[in-house]
């Protein structure tokens, strides 16, 4: 009984802390100009970076086996540099959802992605597989935050955005964990700029003292 109470107490403490999950997926894609009946994008690689109190607490990366269209197109393999064998040996969508639920259970969580496609595809994949969507917390599309913050007319690509900061992306573009880490790095840069702009200017002595009144007293 004492152990259960301790576990519940620790759970409440953790739930009061904010976790940011930076998530990136790579998806299947059809051949160019090919018409595949009922085709939809499926997750074939996942990268997750868990950040709590501004510290990375866990990283996760895996290939994922498509459920409905398991054979990758030549275009998909060439563009993403992912092999059929890699996805054949990956997690199932059911195992992926269970893993994502584990990330979600101990904290108040905000999901951060670059663009809105990742969560759209995850929702559709869960629907097609007959499983519940694993998250119920806040979702942040960092590409839109970046667009609004800098007043850009169009959305900027992930690696172009980090290069505009004078930095380079982590690892290789279109690898899920590398892109998730790059998203986290841009998040930190944007948040730092926000704090800088919101910081009020220190008042000067001229702001604090009305010299016209002061001089009139000595006139």
Q: Please tell me which residue in 101, 145, 164, 174 is annotated as part of the active site.
A: 174
At 87, list the tokens: 């996805």
* Residue 26 designated active-site: yes
Each residue's pLDDT expressed in tens, for the chain with a length of 219 residues: 433 443 344 444 445 689 999 999 999 999 987 777 889 999 999 999 999 999 999 999 999 999 999 999 999 999 999 999 999 999 999 999 999 999 988 899 999 999 999 999 999 999 999 999 999 889 999 999 999 888 877 788 998 888 888 888 888 889 999 999 999 999 999 998 888 777 555 555 444 445 455 445 544
CB burial string 65-74: b at 16+ within 10 A, e below: bbeeeeebbe
* Residue 174 designated active-site: yes
Fold of 17-28+41-199: Nucleotidyltransferase; domain 5 (3.30.420)
Q: How far is CA 210 from CA 174, 201, 203, 218, 219, in A?
A: 60, 19, 13, 13, 15
Task: Give the residue extent of every domain in the chain.
Answer: 17-28+41-199
- What residues contact 8, with CB distance under 8 A and at least 6 apart? none
Q: How far is CA 78 from CA 29, 81, 83, 164, 167, in A?
A: 11, 5, 9, 27, 27
| pLDDT reported for residue 16 | 63
Statement: the pTM of the whole predicted model exceeds 0.85: no
Q: Per 3-state DSSP, what percentage of the chain is helix, strand, and coil (rounded to 5)?
A: 45, 20, 35
């Amino acid at each position: 009984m004492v152990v259960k109470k301790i576990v519940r107490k620790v759970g409440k403490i953790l739930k009061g802390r904010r976790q940011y999950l930076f998530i990136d997926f790579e998806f299947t894609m059809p051949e160019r100009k090919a018409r595949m009946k009922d085709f939809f994008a499926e997750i074939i690689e996942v990268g997750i970076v868990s950040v709590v109190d501004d510290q990375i607490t866990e990283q996760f990366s895996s290939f994922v086996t498509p459920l409905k269209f398991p054979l990758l197109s030549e275009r998909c393999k060439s563009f993403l540099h992912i092999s059929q064998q890699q996805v054949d040996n990956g997690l199932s969508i059911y195992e992926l959802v269970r893993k994502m639920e584990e990330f979600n259970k101990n904290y108040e969580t905000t999901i951060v992605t670059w663009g809105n496609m990742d969560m759209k595809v995850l929702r559709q994949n869960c629907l097609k597989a007959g499983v519940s969507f694993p998250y119920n917390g806040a979702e942040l599309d960092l590409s839109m935050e970046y667009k609004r913050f800098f007043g850009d007319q169009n959305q900027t690509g992930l690696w172009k955005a980090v290069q505009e900061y004078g930095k380079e992306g982590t690892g290789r573009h279109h690898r899920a964990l590398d892109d998730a880490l790059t998203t986290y790095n841009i998040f930190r840069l944007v948040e730092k700029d926000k704090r800088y702009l919101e910081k009020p200017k220190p008042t000067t002595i001229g702001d604090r003292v009305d010299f016209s009144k002061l001089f009139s007293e000595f006139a």
